[in-house]
Amino acid sequence: MLAYRAGKPVLASQFLADVTRLGPLLGDGGHVLNVCADRYRFAVGLAAGLVGGKVSLLPSTRTPAVIAHLKGFAPDAVCLTDEDDSDVELPLVRFPDDARVARPGKASASMSVPQIDAGQRAAFVFTSGSTGAPVPHEKTFGRLRGCMRLERERLGLTPGISYAIVATVPPQHMYGFEASVLLPLSSGNALCTERPFYPADVCAVLAAAPRPRVLVTTPIHLRALLASGLAIPDTDLIVSATAPLSAQLAREIERRGATRLLEIYGSTETGSIAVRRTTESEEWRLFPGVTLEPRAEETWAHGGHVEQATRLCDVIEVLGGDRFLLHGRVADLVNIAGKRSSLGYLNHQLNSIPGVVDGAFFHGDADTGEATVTRVGACVVAPGLDAAAIAAELRRRIDPVFLPRPLLLVPSLPRTSTGKLPEEALRSLAAAEQKSSPAR
């Protein structure tokens, strides 16, 4: 069993047939931006790319500015989509939905499974970088597969048993790419093609998936699931990533779902590198082969499946052996709903808007409780522009989760004589502006 659609199995032979059918449609170029929302179709697109020697492009967002950049990075890229209309400005390849895609049953004659070289470049994932251009990170097939072997083991998935993996995260995000697509494909487990959103959807898709089943999700979805009061169908394992969970929330989830909850730590650059069972310990345990190295104030990860030594965006206390603790994010980093950016990057985008004289983003209040999402705000000096016009320009450039709330128009920013902008001064200005605004 390779996948489930609405609880109905899709056989590996069907998958191979779909991969074979899709291959020629992807053309002669070397890159595919795979935006399929349906997880099965995404997987078919990924595999067809691998077989055809094409690299999948996985940007963190698809704003017009990012697409324009991708075009420069990979001029031969096409966009594989399963939606009727797409505003992505690349040559579109529509997923052939009339072509008996993912119909259950009907195994065709036995087909040989294509062999992929471990050194083959499978994907480029992108981070937002500090100024303007998204930064590509290469992922080779062998290292992705190696990481998934460790992940299967660390999640305690028994070899030889096929788990049905339900996920609320998109297949294009590094966490979802690994845990909801690569993990099932590379370890004999089955992906569930849906991406349930509302708590009632999550419960319904879980209930339809055969056991043993796994839910791959985030603190945001888990919190919503708990708050909905719905009965969570028995689930053999729940996996959470993108932000750490408190022990209390983790206990509540294990109790309500009669399950085990494991958290994964990782990043776009490194992929998954550690796991913890939050109800047992706040210490994270690294995947074998990966090393954390403190360098001055920073922590770098290298070794194992990590392609390149990577500076991690969290404050980390390295304990003995393969253990470590997380102590929050690095000051400049912004992480909202598993999307990462930096104040530096957001400021760069804001200040490149014609008419913006000066502008700066700041972190929202962190004391709203760990469960709610903390947004960013911005103070902007832009005589002649209104907030709506600035927001519309930002929307073209940055992912909507980073749109400032509030966006405050101010006469000037409290810069020091050397041009520095102390965070405290900026936050006080924002607080004063909000107080004086007529809202509410």
Partner 1 sequence: MTDNVSPLRLPAGSAGIAALSRELAGLIVTALNLEVPAADIGPDQPLYGEGLGLDSIDILEIALVVSKQYGVQLRADSEDNERIFASLRHLAEYVNAHRTK
Cβ at position 69, least distance to partner 1 in Å: 22
359 interacts with partner 1 by CB under 8 A = no
Question: Which CB, 157 or 380, lies closer to partner 1?
Answer: 380
Cβ at position 68, least distance to partner 1 in Å: 20
- The CA angle 180-78-136, to the nearest 5 degrees, is 60
Is 115 in contact with 255 (CB distance < 8 Å)?
Answer: no
357 interacts with partner 1 by CB under 8 A = no
8 interacts with partner 1 by CB under 8 A = no
Classify strands 121-127 and 92-94 as parallel, antiparallel or unpaired: unpaired
Strand order across the 55-58 sheet: 92-94, 78-81, 31-34, 55-58, 121-127, 135-140
7 interacts with partner 1 by CB under 8 A = no
Cα gap 335→376, rounded to integer Å: 10
Cβ at position 228, least distance to partner 1 in Å: 6
Task: Provide the residue type at 53 as one letter.
Answer: G
Q: Which of 65, 325, 330, 337 binds partner 1 (CB under 8 A)?
A: 337
Cβ at position 379, least distance to partner 1 in Å: 13
Among 34-42, 63-71, 224-232, 304-312, the segment contacting partner 1 (CB under 8 A): 224-232
Residue ranges with strand state E in 38-130: 55-58, 78-81, 92-94, 121-127
H helices of 278-386, in order, are: 343-351
Among 11-19, 103-111, 231-239, 389-397, the segment contacting partner 1 (CB under 8 A): 389-397
Cα gap 390→145, rounded to integer Å: 43
Question: Which CB, 107 or 200, lies closer to partner 1?
Answer: 200
Question: Which CB, 118 or 432, lies closer to partner 1?
Answer: 432
What does the DSSP 8-state code read for residue 76?
T
Show contacts with partner 1 in window 199-218 (CB under 8 A): 199-201, 204
Buried-exposed string 58-92: b where 16+ CB fall within 10 A, e elsewhere: bbbbbbebbbebbeebbeebbbbbbeeeeebebee
68 interacts with partner 1 by CB under 8 A = no
Is 345 in contact with 378 (CB distance < 8 Å)?
Answer: no
Nearest C-alpha neighbor of 373 from the set 254, 222, 261, 229: 222
H helices of 137-218, in order, are: 141-154, 174-176, 183-187, 199-208
Could you tell me how many residues of this chain bind partner 1 (CB under 8 A)? 30
230 interacts with partner 1 by CB under 8 A = yes
Cβ at position 202, least distance to partner 1 in Å: 10
Nearest C-alpha neighbor of 347 from the set 149, 132, 176, 112: 132
Contact partners, residue 417, CB within 8 Å, separation at least 6: none
The pattern of x and - marking residues 392 through 431 that bind partner 1 according to CB under 8 A reads x--x----xx-x-xx-------------------------
Among 25-33, 60-68, 174-182, 387-395, the segment contacting partner 1 (CB under 8 A): 387-395
Among 97-105, 126-134, 219-227, 352-360, the segment contacting partner 1 (CB under 8 A): 219-227
Q: Which of 381, 391, 421, 425 binds partner 1 (CB under 8 A)?
A: 391
Nearest C-alpha neighbor of 166 from the set 136, 142, 202, 200: 202
439 interacts with partner 1 by CB under 8 A = yes
- DSSP of 260-291, one letter per residue? -EEEEEEETTTEEEEEE-TTT-S-EEEPTT-E
Number of alpha carbons in the 13 Å side-chain half-sphere of residue 439: 8
Interhelix angle 247-256/219-228, rounded to 10 degrees, is: 50
Question: Which CB, 133 or 207, lies closer to partner 1?
Answer: 207
229 interacts with partner 1 by CB under 8 A = yes
Q: Which of 113, 227, 431, 432 binds partner 1 (CB under 8 A)?
A: 227
109 interacts with partner 1 by CB under 8 A = no
Nearest C-alpha neighbor of 182 from the set 49, 46, 91: 46
Question: Which CB, 327 or 435, lies closer to partner 1?
Answer: 435
248 interacts with partner 1 by CB under 8 A = no
369 interacts with partner 1 by CB under 8 A = no
Q: Which of 11, 224, 245, 275 binds partner 1 (CB under 8 A)?
A: 224
Cβ at position 15, least distance to partner 1 in Å: 24
How many other C-beta atoms are found inside a 10 Å radius of the C-beta of residue 290? 21
Q: Which of 221, 260, 276, 340 binds partner 1 (CB under 8 A)?
A: 221
**Binding region for partner 1 (CB under 8 A):** 196-201, 204, 220-221, 224, 227-230, 336-337, 373, 391-392, 395, 400-401, 403, 405-406, 434, 437-440
